[in-house]
Structure 1
Amino acid sequence: MLHLPAEFEQFHWMVDIVQNVDMGLIVIDRDYKVQVWNGFMTHHSGLQSHDAIGKSLFELFPEIPEEWFKIKTKPVYDLGCRSFITWQQRPYLFRCRNVRPVTQRADFMYQNVTLNPMRTPTGEIKSLFLSIQDATAEALIS
């Protein structure tokens, strides 16, 4: 039996978690180019990771108001704090299909989005990650 170092095994687990967690995870750099695109985003947007990585978020999703989104990211990059976008403020950031059309009658997935800073080992914030939650059920009962 092959015995792998614990660090390698933990790294493999982390990749598996990121790809299979039931929420969207996207990493973008300061130029708003996608660095990570997880399985949730592939499933819900229909956009494969190899088609998203390296592309501008605004090129992939032209419905995102560029100046508004840059203002939302400013405290994340400048202060290192989180920023939030709720479905009440804006029904969605990424136009994704509703995957439960029978039980949840909506034309799109309502979303809650958290923008999180990602620090380098020296403390710099060169990227941020977005976590996207499906808030459709919550939105439809409100």
Structure 2
Amino acid sequence: MIGLPAEFEQFHWMVDMVQNVDLGLVVLDKDFNIQVWNGFMIHHSGKQAHDVIGQSIFDVFPEIPQEWFLIKAKPVFDLGCRSFITWRQRPYLFKCRNVRPITQQADYMYQNVTLNPMRTPTGEIKSLFLSIQDATAEAMMDIK
């Protein structure tokens, strides 16, 4: 039990980082139900964690084409490799408001998204996590 306080402190730090990092972090199970919804996603989507956790990503965000997203997720679950969605392929995965409308001339947040496998201690992939990066500034520079 000597290591418990340090481990607890590290766990607390990890939770704090996940909630406050300037990156969207979303965990989906194999049925595409939302398991984790961090502070970035709350702020940008306007959807609270308690309203989305346990819900299908396709029910919460009907703008996501289900067949297309399943194709993107297949190699993550089947092969354990990453999959990528750039704003050039699709401007956004989650239709989020642009939080800097004065400095940015966009109606929504452009996004780069990485789908990452999450392995259990036995190596099985039962979930994936999405990392969502705000690419609006890059997109606006490229579009002009």
TM range (shorter): over 0.9
Q: Distance in 1 between matches of 2:67 and 2:103?
A: 35
Measured against aligned partners, the alpha-carbon deviations of 1:54-77 in whole angstroms (never above 9, x if no partner) come to: 000000000000000000000000
CA distance in 1, matches of 2:54, 2:15: 19
SS at match of 1:25: strand
Identity of aligned residues (%): 80
For 1:16 and 1:121, locate their aligned partners in 2 and report how far apart those are by CA, in whole Å: 23
Q: CA deviation at 1:53?
A: 0.3
Alpha-carbon deviation of 1:97?
A: 0.2
Counterpart position of 2:96: 96
Q: Within the alignment, does 1:128 sit opposite 2:114 as a pair? A: no
Gaps of 5+ in 1: none
Which residue of structure 2 lines up, in the alignment, with residue 28 of structure 1? 28
Q: Report the number of matched residues.
A: 139
Matches within 5 A, 1:46-85: 46-85=46-85
- Provide Cα deviations, 1:71-100, integer angstroms capped at 9, x if missing partner: 000000000000000000000000000000
Deviations 1:9-55 (A, max 9, x none): 00000000000000100000000000000000000000000001000
Q: TM-score scaled to structure 2, two decimals? A: 0.96
Instruction: Name the SS of the counterpart of 2:13 in structure 1.
Output: helix
AA of the residue aligned to 1:34 = I
* Alpha-carbon separation, structure 1, partners of 2:44 and 2:20: 13
What is the CA RMSD across the aligned residues, in angstroms?
0.6
Q: Counterparts of 2:60 and 2:97 in 1: how far apart (Å)?
A: 15
Q: Which amino acid aligns with 1:93?
A: L
Given the two structures, how large is their TM-score scaled by the length of structure 1? Answer: 0.97
Pair 1:45 & 2:45 matched: yes
- 1:34 & 1:100 partners in 2: Cα distance? 27
Gap runs ≥5 in structure 2: none
SS in 2 for 1:5: helix
Letter paired with 1:133: Q
Name the counterpart of 1:115: 115
